[in-house]
Amino acid sequence: MAAVSDGNPFDDILMHYTNPVTGGHVMKTMGASMQLLRPGFRGKAHRHTGSYIYHVAKGAGYSIVNGKRLDWQKNDIFCVPSWAFHEHVNGSSTDDACLFCFSDLPTIEALGLYREEALAENDGHQPS
């Protein structure tokens, strides 16, 4: 996908895992995704309903979650709580970083509670 897409300013390349039988989320109450942060990627901050647990599958970088910087490297795990502004940064200018994620997105969507908002100030970046 990275070869044919410019990605997006918040998540770079984001792919959701799907249930091959239903075509929906992997489970009725749990979603899974893999996020590719290409070398030098610095995402813009946004927030959304739902909680997200990230596992760093590859690379190193940091995330800013509600104004607090969280440095991460391969095999680290961190959480972004619901409605928390967050942005991810690949710390390398030469290597990819990959974040695997579990979320409660299917539940939030089923309840009709999903909302998303980009940070408008400071060119979309939080002070840390």
CA nearest to 39, candidates 85, 90, 101, 76: 90
pLDDT of residue 23: 93
Domain chopping of the chain, boundaries: 13-113
CATH number attached to the domain at 13-113: 2.60.120.10
N- to C-terminal Cα separation, the chain: 31
Q: What whole-number distance in Å separates Cα of residue 108 and Cα of residue 78?
A: 20
pTM of the model: 0.92
| Average predicted confidence (pLDDT) for the chain | 95
Which pair of tokens denotes residue 63? 């995330």
State pLDDT tens for residues 87-124. 999 999 999 999 999 999 999 999 999 999 999 999 99
